[in-house]
Amino acid sequence: MKTIFCEIHLPHIRHNFRLLQQRAGHTRIVGVVKADAYGHGDVPVALCLQSEGCTHFAVARVHEGIKLRKAGIHGDILIMSGSFPNEFAALREFNLTTVVYCEENIEEMVREGISVPVHIKINTGMNRLGFRPDRLPWVYRTLTEAGFAVRGIMTHMACADEPGSPTIGAQENLFYRSLEPYFQEGMLGHLSNSAGIFTLDNLGSLARPGIMLYGGNPFADKTVDLRPAMTFKTKILQVKRVFPGEGISYGHSFVADREMLVATVAAGYADGYSRLLSNKARVLVNGQYAPQVGRVCMDMSMVDVTHIQPARGDEVVLFGEQRGQCIYASELAELMGTIDYEVFCGISPRVKRIYTGA
């Protein structure tokens, strides 16, 4: 019996992929499935995207790429955080493409005598990883002379989700000026994340949407027809009466001011339902909104169901849809002072993922 689980609706991921590919035109969409596909399950999502014609995938770590290869992903798999010497043999064995972003990384690869496909990352303003653009001639020459196949040049946008930001144009212009001397048939140039598909003038050869594949929207304007793929569900463990003056949960941060019907539900911060949501969030019970009350515990939390009168075992939706009503992950993110990326990625491995519409 499933007490708490995430339902992943694969047709919504298919829809989002098609929408983004249509928007991107001739630019090929990369399926960004790092961090277990933002908590949605990397293998099921990658196989779903592969069946839609996706030929390029991106992860952060080498072990993520190996997992995809073993699961039957045939396309190019890009390791965006690069690799260390103890991982070089696996790059070759599993035909993985690594990103190179610093001189020490090049020295390691040349010293180890490994020859694998690489993408060069340049830093155009994110200041996270990458070579300064003026170092690109040296990087390209050093890699090609050492026998590496330079398949692509990339960067990452810092403010693509802020339409009108001058940083967008500045990074885009610097990237394409830097890329121009090296552009040739087959060379991939890419800089766009989810938001960039809608704010950049030139998307390049590839675009790397992450959050939008899963139905998250980085913009305040929610007019894009994205469909959230995940619904976070649990069950009621107990329904009880609480009387005026009685406190609920640790520290009695909530004290009843009237007689209430309170449901204890099987969801806590060990499941990824953050303690920061205490006395702030709402859930769906039998198609009606119910406020969360008291501090969220490790395995449980409480909700006010006085107006609903549910029973033990009834379904509770923490975010997602139920009977025509919806709580978006972005609503929880705002209450937590974060972004929906973190909400998705923070759901614990002990929460089973169930796939529908395969």
Q: Per the residue annotation, which of 2, 34, 38, 328 is the catalytic one?
A: 34
Whether residue 140 lies in the annotated active site: no
Strands (E), the chain: 5-9, 28-32, 56-59, 76-79, 97-100, 118-121, 150-154, 188-192, 206-207, 230-242, 247-248, 254-255, 260-265, 282-285, 288-293, 301-304, 315-322, 325-327, 352-356
23 is in an annotated binding site: no
Task: Please give the structure tokens belonging to residue 323.
Answer: 């009977």
Whether residue 269 lies in the annotated active site: no
Enclosing H/E stretch for 244? none
Task: Please give the structure tokens belonging to residue 178.
Answer: 């830097």
298 is in an annotated binding site: yes
Task: Please give the structure tokens belonging to residue 232.
Answer: 């976070």
Q: Per the residue annotation, which of 2, 240, 250, 352 is the catalytic one?
A: 250
Task: Please give the structure tokens belonging to residue 223.
Answer: 């007019």
250-278 burial: b if 16+ Cβ within 10 Å, else e: eeeebebeeebbbbbbbbbbebbbbeebb
What 8-state DSSP symbol labels residue 313?
T
Residues composing the chain:
358
Q: Which residues are catalytic?
A: 34, 250
Annotated binding-site positions: 128, 298
Annotated binding-site positions for substrate: 128, 298
